[in-house]
Homo-oligomer: A and B are copies of this chain.
Amino acid sequence: MEMALTEAEAAAERGEPPVGAVVVLKGEVVAAAGNRVRENADPTAHAEILVLRQACRTLNTHRLDGADLHVTLEPCPMCAGAIAEARIRRLYYGAEDPKGGAVDNGVRLFDQPTCHHRPEVYGGILEIRCSELLKGFFSARRP
């Protein structure tokens, strides 16, 4: 999660909402990424989507069985869906997102009977630092 926080900080420096993510397989970091929605002009370029794509490219697979995802913010519906598609084993996230989250808030995607794959979920990892980084970013941008 420290490395995901570093990615989130780098995203903030690029003017993007500070969210960062890392994929780990067998104790090794396979991929790390931060939000690049504006820079890439890509509404799907959330940290989780970028890191999953990068990990799959590195491993030349479309399924990351046994891999774990660490992300600084509770994933949104798009990213939670991608985590299920990628067959992530364990999801570790930092700050909860009552408005936009889809894991322990909102549609609680992994708890639904139509969800094809459920990772183990561990929330609240380095929660305060993940949360303060986001709060600081958005309060600095408010007029």
A17: CB under 8 A from chain B? no
Query: Which chain B residue has the least Cβ–Cβ distance from A57?
Result: B41
Which residues of chain B have C-beta atoms less than 8 A from A40's C-beta? Answer: 62
CB of A81 within 8 A of CB of B85, answer no
Choose the segment among A1-9, A24-32, A103-111 that binds chain B (4+ C-beta atoms closer than 8 Å). Answer: A103-111
**A-side interface size class:** 35 or more
Docked pose: A82 CA to B78 CA in angstroms = 6
> Is A22 an interface residue, CB under 8 A from the partner?
no
Complex Cα distance, B32 from A139, in Å, reads: 39
Which listed residue, B41, B62, B78, B107, touches A60 by the CB 8 Å rule?
A: B41
The A contact surface, by secondary structure, is loop
- A63 contacts partner chain B, Cβ-Cβ < 8 Å: yes
| Contact partners of A41 in chain B: CB under 8 A | 56-57, 60-62
CB pair B114–A82 under 8 Å, yes or no, is no
Residues in chain B near residue A44, CB distance under 8 A: 44, 49, 52-53, 82, 85-86
Interface residues of A in 37-69 (CB under 8 A from B): 37-38, 40-46, 49, 52-53, 56-57, 60-64
**Is B78's CB under 8 angstroms from A62's CB?**
no
Given contacts A56-B43, A77-B80, contact A114 B105 (CB under 8 A): yes
Q: Mark A85-110, 1 if CB is under 8 A from B, else 0.
A: 11100000000000111100111010
